[in-house]
Structure 1
Amino acid sequence: MGSTATTALIPLVLLLASVLWVYQDASAHDDRGASVRFSAGSVEVSGPAVWAVGCLCLWVVFMPLYLVCRRQAG
Protein backbone atom coordinates (compact mmCIF):
# COMPACT_ATOMS: atom_id res chain seq x y z
CA MET A 1 0.00 0.00 0.00
CA GLY A 2 2.87 2.39 0.72
CA SER A 3 4.29 2.08 -2.78
CA THR A 4 0.92 2.99 -4.31
CA ALA A 5 0.75 6.17 -2.26
CA THR A 6 4.32 7.04 -3.18
CA THR A 7 3.63 6.40 -6.85
CA ALA A 8 0.59 8.66 -6.70
CA LEU A 9 2.57 11.44 -5.00
CA ILE A 10 5.39 11.57 -7.55
CA PRO A 11 3.37 13.38 -10.27
CA LEU A 12 1.99 15.80 -7.68
CA VAL A 13 5.47 16.62 -6.39
CA LEU A 14 6.74 17.13 -9.95
CA LEU A 15 3.78 19.39 -10.74
CA LEU A 16 4.31 21.53 -7.65
CA ALA A 17 8.07 21.72 -8.25
CA SER A 18 7.56 22.88 -11.84
CA VAL A 19 4.94 25.44 -10.77
CA LEU A 20 7.35 26.81 -8.15
CA TRP A 21 10.13 26.97 -10.74
CA VAL A 22 7.89 28.83 -13.21
CA TYR A 23 6.95 31.36 -10.53
CA GLN A 24 10.56 31.95 -9.49
CA ASP A 25 11.82 32.11 -13.06
CA ALA A 26 9.08 34.51 -14.17
CA SER A 27 9.84 36.67 -11.12
CA ALA A 28 13.52 36.76 -12.05
CA HIS A 29 12.63 37.80 -15.60
CA ASP A 30 10.39 40.56 -14.21
CA ASP A 31 13.21 41.80 -11.97
CA ARG A 32 15.49 42.05 -15.01
CA GLY A 33 12.84 43.95 -16.95
CA ALA A 34 12.29 41.16 -19.47
CA SER A 35 8.81 39.94 -18.53
CA VAL A 36 7.59 36.66 -19.98
CA ARG A 37 4.40 37.50 -21.86
CA PHE A 38 1.94 35.81 -24.17
CA SER A 39 -0.98 37.41 -25.93
CA ALA A 40 -3.49 36.14 -28.44
CA GLY A 41 -6.29 38.50 -29.29
CA SER A 42 -7.74 39.84 -26.07
CA VAL A 43 -6.08 37.15 -23.93
CA GLU A 44 -2.83 38.16 -22.26
CA VAL A 45 -0.77 36.06 -19.89
CA SER A 46 1.89 37.94 -17.97
CA GLY A 47 3.21 38.07 -14.46
CA PRO A 48 4.66 35.31 -12.32
CA ALA A 49 1.43 34.56 -10.44
CA VAL A 50 -0.60 34.20 -13.64
CA TRP A 51 1.95 31.84 -15.16
CA ALA A 52 2.10 29.78 -11.97
CA VAL A 53 -1.68 29.47 -11.64
CA GLY A 54 -1.95 28.62 -15.33
CA CYS A 55 0.62 25.85 -14.92
CA LEU A 56 -1.11 24.60 -11.80
CA CYS A 57 -4.52 24.43 -13.48
CA LEU A 58 -3.60 23.40 -17.01
CA TRP A 59 0.03 22.27 -16.98
CA VAL A 60 -0.11 20.53 -20.36
CA VAL A 61 -0.85 23.84 -22.10
CA PHE A 62 0.88 26.45 -19.94
CA MET A 63 4.24 24.78 -19.30
CA PRO A 64 5.24 24.43 -22.98
CA LEU A 65 3.78 27.89 -23.66
CA TYR A 66 5.85 29.35 -20.83
CA LEU A 67 9.02 27.72 -22.12
CA VAL A 68 8.49 29.14 -25.61
CA CYS A 69 7.65 32.62 -24.33
CA ARG A 70 10.57 32.50 -21.90
CA ARG A 71 12.99 31.86 -24.76
CA GLN A 72 11.56 34.84 -26.67
CA ALA A 73 11.80 37.11 -23.60
CA GLY A 74 15.52 36.52 -23.37
Structure 2
Amino acid sequence: MTGTPPAALVSILVLLVVLATDVWVYADAKGRVRRGNPAFVSLGSLRVETPGAWFLGCLIMWVVFFPLYLTATRRNPFGHRSG
Protein backbone atom coordinates (compact mmCIF):
# COMPACT_ATOMS: atom_id res chain seq x y z
CA MET A 1 0.00 0.00 0.00
CA THR A 2 1.32 3.44 -0.90
CA GLY A 3 0.32 6.92 0.07
CA THR A 4 -0.44 8.53 3.38
CA PRO A 5 -1.69 6.23 6.15
CA PRO A 6 -5.25 6.92 7.38
CA ALA A 7 -4.04 7.85 10.89
CA ALA A 8 -1.87 10.60 9.41
CA LEU A 9 -4.80 11.93 7.39
CA VAL A 10 -6.97 12.07 10.52
CA SER A 11 -4.19 13.92 12.37
CA ILE A 12 -3.89 16.44 9.55
CA LEU A 13 -7.66 16.94 9.47
CA VAL A 14 -7.78 17.54 13.24
CA LEU A 15 -4.91 20.03 12.98
CA LEU A 16 -6.70 21.91 10.20
CA VAL A 17 -9.93 22.07 12.23
CA VAL A 18 -8.04 23.37 15.28
CA LEU A 19 -6.25 26.03 13.21
CA ALA A 20 -9.52 27.09 11.57
CA THR A 21 -11.21 27.51 14.95
CA ASP A 22 -8.18 29.47 16.21
CA VAL A 23 -8.52 31.89 13.30
CA TRP A 24 -12.27 32.14 13.92
CA VAL A 25 -11.69 32.92 17.62
CA TYR A 26 -9.25 35.68 16.68
CA ALA A 27 -11.62 37.22 14.12
CA ASP A 28 -14.61 36.97 16.44
CA ALA A 29 -12.70 38.43 19.41
CA LYS A 30 -11.45 41.28 17.22
CA GLY A 31 -15.00 42.02 16.06
CA ARG A 32 -16.22 42.00 19.65
CA VAL A 33 -13.57 44.56 20.61
CA ARG A 34 -14.66 46.80 17.70
CA ARG A 35 -18.29 46.57 18.84
CA GLY A 36 -17.33 47.42 22.44
CA ASN A 37 -18.20 43.96 23.76
CA PRO A 38 -14.84 42.22 24.30
CA ALA A 39 -14.64 38.62 25.41
CA PHE A 40 -12.66 38.27 28.61
CA VAL A 41 -12.08 35.83 31.40
CA SER A 42 -10.22 36.22 34.65
CA LEU A 43 -9.05 33.16 36.56
CA GLY A 44 -6.98 34.19 39.53
CA SER A 45 -4.00 36.10 38.18
CA LEU A 46 -4.67 34.94 34.60
CA ARG A 47 -6.66 37.46 32.56
CA VAL A 48 -7.41 36.80 28.89
CA GLU A 49 -9.06 39.68 27.06
CA THR A 50 -7.30 40.61 23.82
CA PRO A 51 -7.87 38.86 20.50
CA GLY A 52 -4.17 37.98 20.38
CA ALA A 53 -4.29 36.41 23.83
CA TRP A 54 -7.33 34.34 22.87
CA PHE A 55 -5.62 33.24 19.66
CA LEU A 56 -2.40 32.22 21.44
CA GLY A 57 -4.32 30.47 24.20
CA CYS A 58 -6.31 28.48 21.64
CA LEU A 59 -3.18 27.77 19.62
CA ILE A 60 -1.24 26.44 22.60
CA MET A 61 -4.03 24.80 24.65
CA TRP A 62 -7.06 24.50 22.36
CA VAL A 63 -8.79 21.94 24.56
CA VAL A 64 -8.91 24.48 27.41
CA PHE A 65 -9.18 27.88 25.70
CA PHE A 66 -11.69 27.16 22.92
CA PRO A 67 -14.45 26.05 25.32
CA LEU A 68 -13.44 28.89 27.65
CA TYR A 69 -13.87 31.39 24.81
CA LEU A 70 -17.28 29.97 23.94
CA THR A 71 -18.29 30.28 27.59
CA ALA A 72 -16.90 33.82 27.88
CA THR A 73 -18.89 35.00 24.87
CA ARG A 74 -22.16 33.38 25.85
CA ARG A 75 -24.87 35.72 27.09
CA ASN A 76 -27.72 35.03 29.42
CA PRO A 77 -31.33 35.63 28.26
CA PHE A 78 -31.38 39.09 29.83
CA GLY A 79 -28.45 40.36 27.74
CA HIS A 80 -26.04 40.84 30.63
CA ARG A 81 -22.53 39.52 30.45
CA SER A 82 -22.21 36.10 32.06
CA GLY A 83 -19.30 35.10 34.25
Q: TM-score, normalised by structure 1?
A: 0.88
> Relative to total residues, which structure has the larger helix share, 1 or 2?
1
1:62 aligns with 2:52: no
Q: Residue 78 of structure 2 corresponds to which residue in structure 1?
A: none
Aligned-residue CA RMSD in angstroms? 1.7
Structure 1 unmatched runs, 5+: none
**Structure 2: which 5+ runs fail to align?**
76-80
Larger Rg: 2
- Extract structure 1 runs of 4+ deviating beyond 4 A: none
Q: Which structure exhibits the higher relative contact order, with contacts defined as CA atoms closer than 8 Å and separated by 6 or more residues?
A: 1
| Alignment TM-score, normalising by the size of structure 2 | 0.80
Amino acid at match of 1:60: V
The count of residues paired between Structure 1 and Structure 2 equals 74
Identity %: 39
